[in-house]
Amino acid sequence: MDFESYDVLVVGGGLAGLRAAIAAVEANPRVKVGLVSKVYPMRSHTVSAEGGAAAVMRPEDSYQTHAFDTIKGSDYLADQDVVEAFVREAPLEIIQMEHWGCPWSRDPDGKISVRPFGGMTTWRTCFAADKSGFHMLHTVFQTSLKYPQITRHDEAFVTKLLIEDSRCVGVVALDIRTGRFDAITAKTTILATGGLGRVYAFSTNGNICTGDGMALAYRAGVGLKDMEMVQFHPTGLPFTGILITEAVRGEGGYLLNNGGERFLKRYVPNKMELGPRDIISRAMITEFEEGRGFEGPHGKYMHLDVRHLGEAVIDRKLPFMRELGREFVGIDIVKDPIPVRPVQHYMMGGVDADISGETPILGLYAAGECANVGLNGGNRLGSNSLSECLVFGAAAGRAAAHYASSAKPVTANPVDAMLWDEAHRVETEYLEKKSGNERIAVIREEMQKEMDDGAGVFRTREGLSKLVRNLGGLRERFEKVKIEDSSRTFNTEILAALELDFMLEVSSAVAFSALAREESRGAHARRDFPERDDAKFLKHTLAFHTKTLAPRLEYRDVTITNFKPQARTY
Amino acid sequence: MPEKRISIHATRYDPEHDKEPRLQTYDIPFSDESMVVLDALNYIKSHVDGSLSYRWSCRMGICGSCGMMVNGTPKLTCSAFLRDYWPRAVVVQPLNNFPLIRDLVIDMDDFMHKLKSIKPWIIRKQEIPLGAGEHRQTSDQIDEFRQFSECINCMLCYAACPVYGLNNEFLGPAATALARRYNLDSRDEGLKQRLPVLAESEGVWECSFVGECSVVCPKGVDPAKAIQQTKLDTTMRFVLPYGNRE
């Protein structure tokens, strides 16, 4: 049987994946790179990032400060050696993006502008108006087209990692257009599949953010690290969950409760609207609970007010926000406050990977949101994630290219058998099964509601125990799922089933990891354990897949270099 | 009060079973004024007919996946509100001018090739090292190309383009706009490399000033302007030496 074979195979065509592909080629122009993505790369969810990318760009700023802000923001769960390396690389990556044509917004002297952002003590967020992710993604995608070494497999969904003698040798992928299963083999594989926001009902994430890479690695035996650390962004539009960028507050917007009060003075008095996301989201929920939220047709909300900034500033720095307000809410943010409430936004947790993106499985790497390299700990600071995609995407690409140059080639024989097994599994479990009676969407919607209820901004043992039980019930019902679509051609129902399978997997990792962390740290806020407990939990959670729904949990010490854990107040 | 409902007529086509695309009607609850056409499709797929196929992701008008013909006009279905059509029925069809893969899913390989052909990356005679820092660029210089950089590749302009409809050798609106985006960028020196592709593109001269492409663009890009400017560029190429902008 024929199969494609690469030196480096990247799974995922967002910012981290594309950056990794280019870095691999630039590290060694002789490497053959494959890039497989379930959507055309420019559809990847990077496209929705708005506010910007953080890096030390000004003489008055320092690596030390960016590192400290990130570590304090993480509630001391970040690995400090990783953060220190990250802050040094980030400015170079911003410049690299500029050389590739990213239309960064500029200061009058022609230099790249920076704006303030939450949890950052100084201005260091580079931006392209309020469509930073869109511009960065299109820049890096279009730039990737100039490298003949990169071959794309667009609209192919990876169902399984090929593991041979404890080494990753590529993937099995379903070609969505034809329904054909292919083995795409490679000496090294980089997972860059993004987040898992779709396990929640109310999320800023696009339909494609289903935790695929996390589930693939988890099933292959890699630990998922700190999966309890889920970020809720303070400002999503009610009903749609559309993200209203933190840059709105960076540019001077106010968050107001139903008394017109800037309520953050009671929670983060020194930072106000520029406090970190975890604390502001909790403050908003607390205000709601105490009766100080607005009541709307889609639940409680607060006002985000930019009217005092004036039309000129709004049109220059926040034009997309004005467009979103007009299109999706029917308001003009120049004249009306924006209704917002906390919304699932980002996953700090992910595939256990080191500073080079290497996972414990030989030949397998991870970068971007699907990975946890130890940068974000318990709470990511806004604008660190686009920079993370660049820095650690590039690192993984270089490391993979380096390893591939000395790795032995992949042999056809076991791969053929593994491909046949995997194709057979999907055929029998989904396509050929006629007996099921459960609707995919019903199970998915119940899972999302359970996750919102049990693993939201505030958690309790009771709520998490219920979540764990109910996820178990949903997993059993999933076995009886019904597929109505029997076509091989662009069968999006099979895709939805495979994605739901992955989402149930990663949801369980979130729930069990959260249940076991009996403290409050970063985004993980337990009402029954409201304090941080460094004696017991200054540690990463590692969840390993088992035959049951419950993972085996292990803990690993956090790497501390120069910043001793302190109380986290703003 | 009886539940408010709306009829959706959606194109169905499975090449394994159907000779021709056909419309299938779904009568669904119109339960919230905020519902868009994409929500209606998602309701159908989730609760009525799991086999309906279409692309979507961000549902905030930026990923460019969910373009379809809505009552005959190319639209992003995530931004087309049902309230603007109700009580009329909504007819949802695949984008015009593209081969059909399945239901509402078009084949856009042609655009992907065209995008690559215009070399949509910064071309310089000599790249400056990272250590030298950024190129300086003023806001005015960005304004030169800004609107053309807003293209989300949603393909609505191709669906609206009468020239592309007749002759798909035509480079078309989005690819021309993106070529223009790089040609106008003060950091770029690739004009000379892109001009032959632009000059050889069939159809540029058939393009009228009507500008259907610019009308349907959801992001305010004006590809018609890019095409007219390109005509000028490609003519000038044979008439005048091109100064320092290679």
CATH number at residue A446: 1.20.58.100
Distance CA A269, CA A271 (A): 6
The enclosing domain of A268 has a CATH number of 3.90.700.10
pLDDT band (50, 70, 90) for residue B19:
very high
Distance CA A212, CA A210 (A): 6
- Is A163 inside any structural domain? no
Scan for tokens 């949509």, then name that residue.
B120
Q: Based on the fold, state whether residues A337 and A422 are members of the same structural domain.
A: no
Write down the pLDDT at residue A203: 98
Residue B3 has pLDDT above 90, yes or no: no
Tell me whether strands A4-11 and A33-37 are parallel, antiparallel or unpaired.
Answer: parallel
Average pLDDT over residues B217-239: 86
CA distances from A372 to A228, A380, A542, A552 (A): 12, 11, 11, 18
- Is A124 inside any structural domain? no
Residue B245 has pLDDT above 80, yes or no: no
Residue B243 has pLDDT above 50, yes or no: no
Residues of A in contact with B182 (CB under 8 A): 101
Question: What share of chain A in percent tops pLDDT 90?
Answer: 96
Average pLDDT over residues B4-23: 97
Average pLDDT over residues A190-202: 98
Q: Where are the alpha helices (DSSP H) in chain B?
A: 37-43, 109-117, 139-145, 156-160, 162-166, 173-183, 191-200, 212-216, 223-239
Mutate to test the interface with A, among B55, B105, B106, B221 (most CBs of A within 10 A): B55
**Fold held by B5-106:** Ubiquitin-like (UB roll) (3.10.20)
Mutate to test the interface with A, among B18, B100, B102 (most CBs of A within 10 A): B102
- Give me the domain span that covers residue A463: 417-533
Least confident of A76-85, A134-143, B197-206: B197-206
Superfamily classification of domain B109-239: Alpha-helical ferredoxin (1.10.1060.10)
Average pLDDT over residues A373-387: 98
Name the residues of A annotated as catalytic: 233, 249
- Is A84 inside any structural domain? no
CB atoms B122 and A98 under 8 Å: no
CB atoms A207 and B32 under 8 Å: no
Scan residues 157-186 of B and list those with Cβ closer than 8 Å to A.
178, 182, 185
- Is A521 inside any structural domain? yes
- Is A265 inside any structural domain? yes
Looking at A288, A311, A342, the residue that finishes a domain is A342
CB-based contacts of B230, cutoff 8 Å, min separation 6: B176, B179, B180, B198, B204
Average pLDDT over residues B38-62: 97
Helix (H, G, I), strand (E, B) or coil at A366: strand
CB atoms A484 and B51 under 8 Å: yes
Least confident of A399-413, A538-552, B38-52, B97-111: A399-413
pLDDT digits (tens, 9 = 90+) for A437-459: 999 999 999 999 999 999 999 99
With vertex at residue A323, the alpha carbon angle to CA A320 and CA A326, rounded to the nearest 5 degrees, is 150
- Is A38 inside any structural domain? no
- Is A138 inside any structural domain? no
Token pair belonging to B200 = 């050889």
Least confident of A462-476, B97-111, B198-212: B198-212
CA distances from B51 to A485, A489, B44, B58 (A): 5, 11, 9, 21
pLDDT digits (tens, 9 = 90+) for A228-286: 999 999 999 999 999 999 999 999 999 999 999 999 999 999 999 999 999 999 999 99
A18 closest CA partner among A4, A3, A39: A39
Q: Based on the fold, state whether residues A425 and A520 are members of the same structural domain.
A: yes
pLDDT band (50, 70, 90) for residue B244:
very low
Q: Based on the fold, state whether residues A437 and A526 are members of the same structural domain.
A: yes
- Is A452 inside any structural domain? yes
Write down the pLDDT at residue B240: 52
- Structural domain count of chain A: 2
Backbone φ and ψ of A427, nearest 5°: -60, -50
pLDDT digits (tens, 9 = 90+) for A287-343: 999 999 999 999 999 999 999 999 999 999 999 999 999 999 999 999 999 999 999
ipTM over 0.90: yes
pLDDT digits (tens, 9 = 90+) for A553-562: 999 999 999 9
Distance CA B34, CA B79 (A): 10
Write down the pLDDT at residue A436: 87
pLDDT band (50, 70, 90) for residue B236:
confident
Write down the pLDDT at residue A412: 74
Q: Based on the fold, state whether residues A520 and A426 are members of the same structural domain.
A: yes
A75 closest CA partner among A277, A373, A312: A277
Residue B246 has pLDDT above 70, yes or no: no
CB-based contacts of B236, cutoff 8 Å, min separation 6: B242
Write down the pLDDT at residue B238: 59
Looking at A296, A326, A342, the residue that finishes a domain is A342
Distance CA A438, CA A480 (A): 6
Q: State the average pLDDT for chain B.
A: 93
Within an 8 Å CB–CB cutoff, is residue B235 touching chain A?
Answer: no
A506 closest CA partner among A192, A227, A233: A227
